[in-house]
Chains A and B, each alone.
Chain A
Amino acid sequence: MKGAFRIRDLALIFLFLLLSLVFFLIFRQEKAEFLVVEIDGAVVERIPCAALEEAGTRVYRGAKGTVELSFQDGSVFVSKSDCPTGQCLHSGVIASAGQCIVCLPNRFSVYFEGGDVDGVTG
């Protein structure tokens, strides 16, 4: 076996490749650090997720009126909106990286950065 890889060498390579895979999977699990609030395509606020743990509200002025966001336990939803359609009020609660709520009439959007989904069709 002189000059060739031994089983022990191969086992070592396998072990490190396994470790690489573990590192890769760990690093891929992006956790949202910020909630991003945009009006008319411009970022107006980046809120650290840690600040969303306590219950609270924030009000923003959109293109057609105001939008109120409510926070609790790291979750966010639109609690009040002056928009004519009211669709944003029925967009549900977002809590994970990549999730987004849009209020079209107000040109308002709020989303958590990161996540394993790059876009949503529907």
Chain B
Amino acid sequence: MKRRVRFFLALALCFASLLLSSCGEKTLNRYTYYGMGTYTTVSVEGGAPREIASILAGAENELSHRVSDSVIAAANRGETVTVEGDLLETLLLCETLYRKTDGRFDISVLPLTSLWNFDAAPTSPPAPAEIESVLALVGFDRAVSLEGGSLRVLRGGLDLGAVGKGLACDRIVAHLEKAQARGLVSVGGSLGVAGSGRTYTVGVRDPFSPFATDLIGKIRIGEGFVSTSGTYEKKFESQGRSYHHILNAESGYPEENSLVSVTVIADSGVLSDALSTAAFLVGEEGAISLCREFGASAIAVKADGTILVSRELEACFAYLGKGTVIYQ
């Protein structure tokens, strides 16, 4: 009799585990929004979250230099503006990264980005003399006064393109968590996890493919934020030479080093967004270590197909390509 009890107990246990394993996680429902000149998706368990569109609009109206009454546009006109909260933290992070990268990462780069104007799909680079002349207006040290919460642009102008999507992602994730929602947010390819207790698979775009749908690897994350900077975005060719949109604010030209893309996993969207650009600009020698200084990890893809990966990601990164993977 006891044998039979044991048998049925074992059977019940097994069916319970079978049932649990088959149930899996709740389905994520995907909602799409447009704003900040990009495409945002919010994938959450349950119904459509509220106020996402207004968060995106609010971020654009605050951060975009193109919106005439934004904080940044006012600062660019020479007005002294008060900044606080996450915007102040973002500006301070940018100042730190400006110093860490010896001026290559610089948000006072508006004169240069306006000259190159990658958004208008240019077909030729600016003349060297033009680049030389606008470089006199670029340089956080010379162009920006940031004391306490008081911001003033002394010359040139600010372009928060390197951090805007990350900041918007932070705000949407914070909003979802306040509403106790769980899911994954993507603001133009800057991703953030809202809530806990669920893991997500994030695809990393293949920088060697012209198609945005091709992946070079996958990362499993249960928290944090992911951003990527790559040479495949907004590029053009002129006289046999390729020009991409990641500008070195020191040289005035697109950064030419051995990297083609850098993906960063960090604790905040602003940090992952800013670091993906900054790490790209410092090149393969310093990319991983710069991220590590900020508690972040990275996947840096070289033009020869070699992938440099933070050793912290060894357990959660699956490489889909054929190049050599070096964990550092």
Contacts and interface: CB of A to CB of B under 8 A. Distances in A.
Contacts of A52: none
B41 interface: yes
Interface residues of A, number: 38
B186 A119 contact: yes
Interface in A79-122: 85, 90-94, 98-102, 104, 107, 109, 116-122
A116 B215 CA distance: 12
Most buried by B among A20, A90, A93, A109: A20
Nearest to A14: B14
A121 B214 CA distance: 11
A70 B105 CA distance: 42
Given A92-B212, A107-B34, A122-B261, A117 B203 contact: yes
Interface SS, A side: mixed
B34 A118 contact: no
Interface residues of B, number: 51
Nearest to A94: B213
A30 to B, nearest CB: 10
Contact of A16 (B18, B34, B201): B18
Nearest to B276: A121
A109 B184 contact: no
A98 B14 CA distance: 33
Contacts of A47: none
17 contacts: A13-B14, A16-B18, A19-B14, A20-B17, A20-B18, A90-B210, A101-B213, A109-B39, A117-B201, A119-B43, A119-B184, A119-B191, A120-B186, A121-B205, A121-B227, A122-B207, A122-B232
Given A117-B215, A121-B227, A122-B232, 8 more contacts: A20-B22, A101-B212, A102-B39, A118-B201, A120-B215, A121-B190, A121-B205, A122-B212
